[in-house]
């Protein structure tokens, strides 16, 4: 299939060949190879032989490219804000609207070319500009889903290879981390379970968090997060403990501990780690951001010792 990348005015800019993998209703998936000389971008280097798994939609204002090196190693995901793709016989055309989003394999995201996107929006009809702007959040959510599946698969491989069990202790996320982890098929082989320790009493009784820790540092602290992670390991007989505690909002914040402040804890036979984050979202957004950050902490820890 011939693929035509056009600018926002519909003028062709680049054409290349792709192999059709699947056409499922409005979703078209193709495989293409990078055949140009190596190109070093600030976030990734594209090299001859790189494989692009390109997903286009005829009803969405974005696309997603999954990029692998010639040896199959994932380099990351690249997404464009664009008009819905157009299928014409054996060709696919799409109009690039300038804004790009990059998601690295470690889960870090970059939004690119925002000034150029703003200029393009000024040239579009109001309805199209609104659709393009609305797609920015949607494409970020789509990339997060791609990363979660990838991270879950790598976490599963790392834990299974070591014969380790994972246990979690959640406060502000209310079970969301466990939900994400158990989206991976076969997770019962390495996921022991979790404790939703929403109250301080449960933190103490089920996880062994010390009263002194809560009195001196509070439930929302690195010290409490680490004791929760250790307590999850002990309570569930696991090798790795992962925890989250924080203030999801909209209430409950103070000057020293505002809404959106969270701490993560991790404990394994090879070390411990704590992380602090401050999210700017609403309650649901803060919970999702915390759960993603917990997956990233676990992913990075297991990758560092592989």
pTM above 0.85, yes or no: yes
Burial of 54-77, coded b for 16+ CB within 10 Å and e otherwise, reads bbbbeebbbbbbbbbbeeeeebbb
> In the prediction, which pLDDT does 202 show?
98
> In the prediction, which pLDDT does 304 show?
78
Which superfamily does CATH assign the domain made up of 163-304 to?
A: CinA-like (3.90.950.20)
Which tokens sit at 107? 């889960």
Quickly state the pLDDT bin for 260 (edges 50, 70, 90): very high
Share of the chain above pLDDT 70, in %: 99
Quickly state the pLDDT bin for 306 (edges 50, 70, 90): low
Which tokens sit at 81? 């804000």
* Best CATH choice for the domain 2-153 from the list 2.40.380.10, 3.40.50.12780, 3.50.50.60, 3.40.50.720: 2.40.380.10
Write the pLDDT tens digit of every residue in 285-303: 999 999 999 999 999 999 8
Write the pLDDT tens digit of every residue in 18-53: 999 999 999 999 999 999 999 999 999 999 999 999
Alpha-carbon gap, residue 123 to 118, rounded angstroms: 9
Domain boundaries, the chain: 2-153, 163-304
Write the pLDDT tens digit of every residue in 55-64: 999 999 999 9
Alpha-carbon gap, residue 283 to 248, rounded angstroms: 5
> In the prediction, which pLDDT does 37 show?
95
Averaged pLDDT of the chain? 97
Segment holding 56, helix H or strand E:
strand 51-57
């Amino acid at each position: 299939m011939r693929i035509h990348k056009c600018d926002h005015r519909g003028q062709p800019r680049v054409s290349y060949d792709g192999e059709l993998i699947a056409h499922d209703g409005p979703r078209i998936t193709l495989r293409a190879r990078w055949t140009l000389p190596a190109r070093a971008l600030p976030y990734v280097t594209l090299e001859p032989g790189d494989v692009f798994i390109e997903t286009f939609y005829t009803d969405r204002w974005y696309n997603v490219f999954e990029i692998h090196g010639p040896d199959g190693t994932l380099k990351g995901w690249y997404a464009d804000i664009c008009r819905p793709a157009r299928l014409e016989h054996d060709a696919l055309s799409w109009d690039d609207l300038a804004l790009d989003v990059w998601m690295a394999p470690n889960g870090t995201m970059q939004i690119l070319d925002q000034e150029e996107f703003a200029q393009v929006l000024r040239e579009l009809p109001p309805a199209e500009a609104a659709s393009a702007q609305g797609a920015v959040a949607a494409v970020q959510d789509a990339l997060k889903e791609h990363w979660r599946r990838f991270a879950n698969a790598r976490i599963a491989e790392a834990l299974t290879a070591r014969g380790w069990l994972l246990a979690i202790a959640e406060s502000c996320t209310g079970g969301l981390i466990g939900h994400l982890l158990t989206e991976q098929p076969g997770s019962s082989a390495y996921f022991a379970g979790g404790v939703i320790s929403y109250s301080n009493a449960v933190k103490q009784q089920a996880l062994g968090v010390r009263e002194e820790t809560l009195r001196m540092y509070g439930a929302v602290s690195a010290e409490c997060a680490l004791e929760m992670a250790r307590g999850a390991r002990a309570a569930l007989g696991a090798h790795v403990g992962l925890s989250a505690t924080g203030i999801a909002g909209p209430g409950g914040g103070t000057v020293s501990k505002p809404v959106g402040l969270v701490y993560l804890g991790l404990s394994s036979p090879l070390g411990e780690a704590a992380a602090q984050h401050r999210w700017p979202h609403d309650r649901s957004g803060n919970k999702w951001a915390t759960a993603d950050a917990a997956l990233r902490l676990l992913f990075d820890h297991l990758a560092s010792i592989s």
